[in-house]
Structure 1
Amino acid sequence: MTHPNDRATPRAVRMAMPLARDVVEEIAKRYGVCIRPVPLKRLDVTTGATEIVDVPCGATLESKCPPCAKRNRQLRMAQCREGWHLEAEPVNTPDEPDDYQRHLVELRADAQAWRDEAEKAGDDTTDLDAALADLDEEINAAGMRGNVLGRTSGKRSRSTRRRQDAPDLPKRQMSATTLGRTFTTKDGKTFRPSMFLTLTLPSYGRIKDGVPVDPSTYDYARAARDALHFSKLVDRFVQNLRRVAGYDVQYFATVEPQKRLAPHLHMAVRGTLPRAELRQIVAATYHQVWWPPTDRVVFDGDHLPVWAEGVGYLDPETGEVLPTWDQALDQLDADEDAEPLHVLRFGEQLDVQGVLAGSPDADQCIRYLAKYLTKSIGDGLDTDNPAQHAERMLDALRFEPCAPTCPNWLRYGIQPKGAKAGMAPGRCKGKAHKPEHLGYAGRRVLVSRKWSNKTLTEHKQDRRTWVLEALGLPNGEQADPHRYLWRPVKPTDADLDPIGVRLLRSVHERQRWRDHMDRLRAEADGQDPSAIREEAA
């Protein structure tokens, strides 16, 4: 019998056939296999054997790799669940430094001595300073926190006096704990509740179905600046929360897009505070952006600054060198009447929910926290939210400086920090200016250091160890982490199989894993493995 596809088929029918590569990717997604694996060559230093191993790309967005994004979402949910209702103080004991870390610090000591000697001799230290900076980065990359010299960041300090239009906050004496208060009922039961908070930005104009009723009066400029600096406002809220609570409050928070395309915050907080105090904290929280003013456009259109090597950007007409970023801040500091470029505040809406450990509400809140983690901020755009609203938001962001290094500062007559050739206003490549982020360039997941007493990598290792133990497979990397050396593989490597072959191989391996897990479940529950497979399907 001849298969219909073996006969001569019209071009329209052939074009309607699915591509084999697309089918392979679809199957890979169904089995939770990364569709953009990164090939790495693994060398076993014990046996000398080499092999190419596909490592998951680790994407957090569904638009890039759905299986990796789903895996990351599950890890975050596990991290949130383990840290929300701890009954004992987390123990954060730093690891002992390894030989490589000690070597780097010793090398840093020698390099600093060479630099000091060169400075005393009056020699140029530019190359040595660059080498020291590279070495500091390598020290941090090796798994050490902080600056090896203990130096401050060099940030400019402003007066800590609160604004006249912000209410004062009560301040309790700090206790050395991360756990919230306990409560005892009349029948003697003791429980320690926690909180689930939702914080939003203020209104920029009337909204209907996620879009402005009157775009001409909608404050896009304020909305853009609020999105750019939203992460700083969250930091201020956490600081105020801890001062009022009187203990080291721990939190797990996610930043998500509202339908109006403004970022807002969901936060799981360990412990609880009265709602009245929380509203007081929200009302008193603000962030001031002390940047040079941007109310006057100096360069626009074809009239743009020109680059001079070794000098910086010049006025094309007068040849005058534009003030550097530090000079612009010096001028701002010298002006006693200067006002901040922007002041951020939360909106009046505050949702507070008390949550108990192990309750259905806790599980629901955890799912809600992770609901949009696989989506970008720009994914809030849908059929009920026309593209014109997002386009107007992007227009407001186009010339708005997103950082001291943003090329948009040239538009206002200031050289960006670390200025280099090729910069132009409106062409910033920063994350905040990309359509999928709509101004928010911060992290989507914000986790305090003492939340679950584990890093995300440790949570990932726990999950991997559990799976390998369930499958009865060895965990060689964990037993001896120094056994293997990893090297990138070039696409032209003769030993690298086509991506389709590698995906099919990974799908087959995942099939074997599933079959094995089904048998384990069947043995534990006394059921037929095939019945479990049908139920899962």
Structure 2
Amino acid sequence: MAQPLAREVAEEVAKLNGVCVRPVALRRLDLVTGKAEIVDVPCGATMESKCPSCAKRNRQLRMAQCREGWHVAEEPVDSPAPATEEQRWLVEFRADMQARRDAAAIAGEDTTDWDAVLAGLDEEINDAGMRGNVVGRTTPKRVRSTRRRQDAPDLPKRKMAKTTLGRTFESPDGKVYRPSLFVTLTLPSYGKVRNGVPVDPETYDYAQAARDALHFSKLVDRFVQNLRRVAGYDVQYFASVEPQKRLAPHLHMAIRGTLPRAEIKQIAAATYHQVWWPPCDRVRFEGEHLPVWQDGVGYLDPDSGEVLPTWDQALDELDHDDAAEPLHVLRFGTQVDVKGILSGTPDADQCIRYLSKYLTKSLGETLDGQAQREHAARFVDALRYEPCSPSCPNWLRYGVQPKGAKAGMAPGRCRSKAHKPEHLGYAGRRVLVSRKWSNKTLAEHKQDRRTWVLEALGQADEPTDPLRYVWKPVPAGDANLAPLAVRLLRSVAERQRWRAYMAQLQAQADGQDHSATQQAGRAA
């Protein structure tokens, strides 16, 4: 029993060599030659707990994305590509389907099937490389007063300039500097903590901490909006969300361009987000006393049989109540760290590494010690019945039907990742990148790295016809699919051959440089 399993050793060897330990087997059929082969495709996991090799590659990719966009000196190209023939055909076909649907509605016919067809076409249009919806917003957006709260300070506002680049500074010797910022924003205190653990768990405000974590991404959006208004240009950013030791999410943000530190702190102090949701402070149904589902009607009060108000009806009631208050108001804490960064300096490299430090770990993987695990358990318990979105089943606990209600919903059983212990209430994206950051998508950054490797190996990455190959998943019991250990060892052997070849090319390049240096010395 003390002997290790051979398969586990194979996985360890794969990890040491940077090979994916959860490859996805796909059968590739070449329509030109008729040849079919099984290809192992990396799983592409971003979490180290799932696949360390893929997570490491994704982290390096994000680091390259951050580095390339932070101190660019030229405006990114913002003109969309011309429409393809396929895209034009899809839009024309959707126009025809929309006309038929409208004709059916005028004739008094049921348009359910037509709506389903149009929804499918909208998905195809997006898959074909077009953004947005052809017909725009189909339902009116709820609009609330944009007047600032009386307890929030006003912010200066500059005239917007059509640029994404920050200010430059010229030294007396004529050298031009393009500084940027590295900003860290945190949430307010919920009680005194020591080593990441509340000193008194009974007085620690877990309820506010839970709501702040659930809506943290909206607060970040508000900060970016205010930052651009004050800066007076289209500020670009690369940010990552990480957990503090006390388990509250906080933000690290690389900002292109610079502003006075006092203004950044002023913006953070004036930024807030109001959550205009129905009240959920009074519990109406719990335990065995829960709303009952009725097909075609919705959820009913188990005592009176009355239909619970839908999500839209609850919002309508909130809109008509002049004395209504937001469910929650979210703000940043007083701790704001602002650091100036210059391109190509050790500080810039250090900040890039810091931005990507925890990207391969889930928020719950940072727990250290029994006390912090107990703190996390109390935090997750506070999140259990907190609504995380309009479609959260927890709304039933407070007498409101969730948006898109269906049978089988029950409070405390939301499947959203916000309620999973490893996410600690934060359901947003871990990496936030503005659209004009590096003028490239993440897929384009990945292709750049692939092209560099292939060129170094002497294998040109020639473009191929995307319609030449047909890819299909290989069933687990396929007779032609080798055991996982065998596939891992094959990938390890291939990776070792690549590395040996790369080392050989590097040695040749070093030898040529040394020879050129000697020749220059003799010539001198």
Which TM-score bucket, shorter chain as reference?
over 0.9
Instruction: Give deviations 1:46-77, integer Å, cap 9, x for gaps.
Output: 22221111111111010010000000000000
Aligned residue for 2:517? none
Aligned residue for 1:9? none
Aligned residue for 2:519? none
Change (3 A) 1:481 1:93: farther
Does the CA-based 8 Å contact 1:209-1:384 persist in structure 2? no
Query: Structure 1 residue 302 and structure 2 residue 288: aligned?
Result: yes
SS of corresponding position for 1:265: strand
Aligned residue for 1:520? 505
SS of corresponding position for 2:240: strand
Question: How far off is 1:92 after superposition?
Answer: 2.4
Of the structure 1 ranges 101-110 and 40-49, higher mean CA displacement relative to structure 2 is found in 101-110
Give, as a single letter, the amino acid of the residue that structure 2 aligns with 1:80.
C
Change (3 A) 1:401 1:275: same
Aligned residue for 2:377? 391
Does the CA-based 8 Å contact 1:210-1:384 persist in structure 2? no
Instruction: Give deviations 1:243-279, integer Å, cap 9, x for gaps.
Output: 0000000000000010000100000000000011111
Question: How far off is 1:474 after superposition?
Answer: 4.4
Question: How far off is 1:376 after superposition?
Answer: 0.6
Matched residues in 2 for 1:146 and 1:386: separation? 43
Aligned residue for 1:535? none
2:496 alignment partner, one of 511, 524, 532 = 511
Aligned residue for 2:516? none
Pairs within 5 Å for 1:68-467: 68-151=54-137, 154-383=140-369, 385-467=371-453
Give, as a single letter, the amino acid of the residue that structure 2 aligns with 1:267.
M
Matched residues in 1 for 2:15 and 2:89: separation? 43
Give, as a single letter, the amino acid of the residue that structure 2 aligns with 1:241.
L
Give, as a single letter, the amino acid of the residue that structure 1 aligns with 2:312.
D
Does the CA-based 8 Å contact 1:175-1:247 persist in structure 2? yes
Aligned residue for 1:497? 482
Question: How far off is 1:290 after superposition?
Answer: 0.3
**How large is the RMSD of aligned CA atoms in angstroms?**
1.3
Does the CA-based 8 Å contact 1:259-1:385 persist in structure 2? no
1:28 alignment partner, one of 10, 14, 22 = 14
Question: How far off is 1:142 after superposition?
Answer: 2.4
Matched residues in 2 for 1:141 and 1:406: separation? 28
Matched residues in 2 for 1:295 and 1:435: separation? 23
Q: What 5-or-longer segments of structure 1 have no aligned partner?
A: 1-14, 528-537
TM-score by length of 2: 0.96
Matched residues in 1 for 2:108 and 2:138: separation? 26
Question: How far off is 1:152 after superposition?
Answer: 6.0
Question: How far off is 1:190 after superposition?
Answer: 1.8
Question: How far off is 1:114 after superposition?
Answer: 1.3
Aligned residue for 1:534? none
Question: How far off is 1:132 after superposition?
Answer: 1.1
Does the CA-based 8 Å contact 1:210-1:385 persist in structure 2? no
Question: How far off is 1:150 after superposition?
Answer: 2.4
Matched residues in 2 for 1:142 and 1:41: separation? 24
Matched residues in 2 for 1:152 and 1:308: separation? 28
Give, as a single letter, the amino acid of the residue that structure 1 aligns with 2:385.
F
SS of corresponding position for 1:117: helix
Question: How far off is 1:500 after superposition?
Answer: 1.3
Question: How far off is 1:104 after superposition?
Answer: 2.4
SS of corresponding position for 2:93: helix
Question: How far off is 1:303 after superposition?
Answer: 0.2
Matched residues in 2 for 1:85 and 1:43: separation? 44
Of the structure 1 ranges 199-208 and 517-526, higher mean CA displacement relative to structure 2 is found in 517-526
Instruction: Give deviations 1:179-211, integer Å, cap 9, x for gaps.
Output: 001112233322110000000000000000000
Matched residues in 2 for 1:374 and 1:311: separation? 45
Instruction: Give deviations 1:495-518, integer Å, cap 9, x for gaps.
Output: 222211111111111111011101
Give, as a single letter, the amino acid of the residue that structure 1 aligns with 2:292.
V
Instruction: Give deviations 1:62-96, integer Å, cap 9, x for gaps.
Output: 00100000000000000000000001101123223
Pairs within 5 Å for 1:471-486: 471-476=457-462, 478-486=463-471
Matched residues in 2 for 1:184 and 1:385: separation? 53
Give, as a single letter, the amino acid of the residue that structure 1 aligns with 2:467.
H
Q: What 5-or-longer segments of structure 2 have no aligned partner?
A: 513-524
Structure 1 runs (4+) deviating above 6 angstroms are none
Instruction: Give deviations 1:97-126, integer Å, cap 9, x for gaps.
Output: 334333322321221111011011110101
Instruction: Give deviations 1:468-520, integer Å, cap 9, x for gaps.
Output: 111122434x3433322222222122222221111111111111101110101
Matched residues in 2 for 1:435 and 1:312: separation? 30
Does the CA-based 8 Å contact 1:180-1:192 persist in structure 2? yes
Matched residues in 2 for 1:492 and 1:131: separation? 36
SS of corresponding position for 2:293: strand
Give, as a single letter, the amino acid of the residue that structure 1 aligns with 2:404.
G
% identity of equivalent residues: 76
SS of corresponding position for 1:16: coil
Aligned residues: 512
Pairs within 5 Å for 1:3-22: 15-22=1-8
Matched residues in 2 for 1:416 and 1:256: separation? 30
SS of corresponding position for 2:234: coil
Question: How far off is 1:386 after superposition?
Answer: 2.6
Matched residues in 1 for 2:461 and 2:482: separation? 25
